[in-house]
Amino acid sequence: MSFDLAEKLLQSRLIMGTALYPSPQVLSDSIKASGSEVVTIAMKRQNPSGNSGQAFWHYVQASGCHLLPNTAGCRTAKEAVAMARLARELFGTHWIKLEVIGDDYNLQPDPFELLIAAKILCKEGFEVFPYCTEDYVLCRRLLDVGCKILMPWAAPIGSGKGPVNWYGLTVLRQRLQDAILIVDAGIGAPSHACQVMELGYDGVLVNSAVALAQQPVVMADAFSKAVQSGRLAYEAGVMPEREMASPSTPLIDTPFWQQEEKMK
Amino acid sequence: MISIKLNGNTCDIAPHTTLAEFLDTLGYDVMMVAVAINAVIVPKQQYASQQLASGDEVDVVIPMQGG
């Protein structure tokens, strides 16, 4: 079950976001319950008077997880590249979850700016995790500029809808067999995570689905089990779907009254 | 005195103030911040030698929760 993610050998295929939790303690407990070894993190401008965020940062550091900084809030390649460079300085990692938003209504990625930023950052030695749609051509282009990991959405960020384009996600996985594909955004329930893992996706990133659950720590555990279950099912090989029924119980040597029924 | 901008807000500081002195005066924990001056990142090891100039735009960022 171990998972090689950008040269880090991980036991968990679940990545946890760190936003929207009711408290830093609940976040910390949820990370532990999830078994995740990678957490996402963001940055904000800090004015001298404020010291908010220190408790959160303390808990994240104490978790021992690998950090995956994001470029949330960026709308152009220029902004995202600047944010990524700051993140590398602040967090001491070359991993970057590249987000370039192109639409306010559904927080859909801007594919054009995303590709420009990805190309620049890959050349600068970043390990770029681009947040993208399930569009095959965009994903192909992102791989062409040096990305090895892609993060297609299941649905708009925070919607909890689960996969809205099942066909698109299925075809993407089938056609990009060598890429690391991690579903990001729109996952609402553990069953959604399990479904995409059964398709052969390499991992899942969840945030709102855990943080906004009535019991986030319990939900983190549920997601952990769902991701493991989905992965095991993928490795085991799900049986092919059939249009017609097929008896699971052999009908030879059945009791006499069933034989009589057949004679009629 | 010279004027600079910190996170978009105007600040007056003494000439030849270094970035390390500036951050210390304002109470920043330098281990918890990253700094860019005029959109160029300043590595931590340069804080003590980096002098601020009139009109500099200084951005100071810290970690926050994110998905």
Assembly ipTM: 0.86
Nearest Cα residue to A42 out of A76, A73, A78 = A73
Query: Which residues of A are known catalytic residues?
Result: 97
pLDDT 10s digits, A150-189: 999 999 999 999 999 999 999 999 999 999 999 999 999 9
What was the pLDDT predicted at A263? 60
Cα of first residue to Cα of last residue in chain A, in angstroms, is: 54
Question: What is d(CA A230, CA A212) in angstroms, rounded to the nearest whole number?
Answer: 23
CA distance to A21, A39, A50, A133, per residue, from A60 (Å): 13, 8, 19, 28
How many other C-beta atoms can be found within 10 angstroms of the C-beta atom of residue B53?
13
3-state secondary structure of A210: helix
Question: What does the pLDDT read at residue A52?
Answer: 62
Q: A74 phi and psi, to 5 degrees?
A: -80, 140
Residue A46 is predicted with a pLDDT of: 79
Kindly state whether B41 is in contact with chain A, defined as any CB-CB distance less than 8 angstroms.
yes
**pLDDT at residue A58, as a whole number:** 87
Subunit contact A45:B32, Cβ cutoff 8 A? no
Q: Does B6 touch chain A (CB under 8 A)?
A: yes
The model's pTM is 0.89
- Residue B61 φ/ψ, nearest 5 degrees: -125, 150
* Contact between residue A206 and residue A187 where contact means Cβ atoms under 8 Å apart: yes
Contacts of A57 in chain B (CB under 8 A): 32, 62-63
Q: List b or e across A198-237, with b for residues whose CB sees 16 or more CB atoms inside 10 angstroms.
A: bbbbbbbbbbbbbbebeebbebbbbbbebbbbbbeebeee
Q: Which of B9, B34, B66 sits opposite A86 (nearest CB)?
A: B34
The pLDDT assigned to A2 comes to 84
What is the C-alpha to C-alpha distance for residues A30 and B51, in angstroms, rounded to an integer? Answer: 44
The backbone region for A146, taken as left when phi is positive above 0, alpha when psi lies in -120 to 50, beta otherwise, is: left
pLDDT at A53: 66
- Concatenate the DSSP letters of all residues of A7-63 into one string: TEEES--EEE---S-S-HHHHHHHHHHHT-SEEEEEEEE--TT--TTHHHHHHHHHH
Residue B23, pLDDT score = 94
Q: Is B47 left (phi over 0), alpha (psi -120 to 50) or beta?
A: alpha
Residues of B in contact with A60 (CB under 8 A): 63
> In this predicted model, what pLDDT tens digit does every residue of B11-61 receive, in sequence order?
999 999 999 999 999 988 888 899 999 989 999 999 999 999 999 999 999
Which candidate, B15, B1, B66, places its Cα nearest to that of A83?
B66
3-state secondary structure at position A177: coil
Q: Which two tokens stand for residue A38?
A: 């990678």
CA dist A170 and A173 (Å) reads 5
Q: Does B57 touch chain A (CB under 8 A)?
A: no
Interchain proximity A86–B64, CB inside 8 Å? no
Partners of residue B39 in chain A, C-beta under 8 Å: 82
Residues of chain A short of pLDDT 50, as ranges, are none
User: Would you state the pLDDT for residue A247?
Assistant: 84
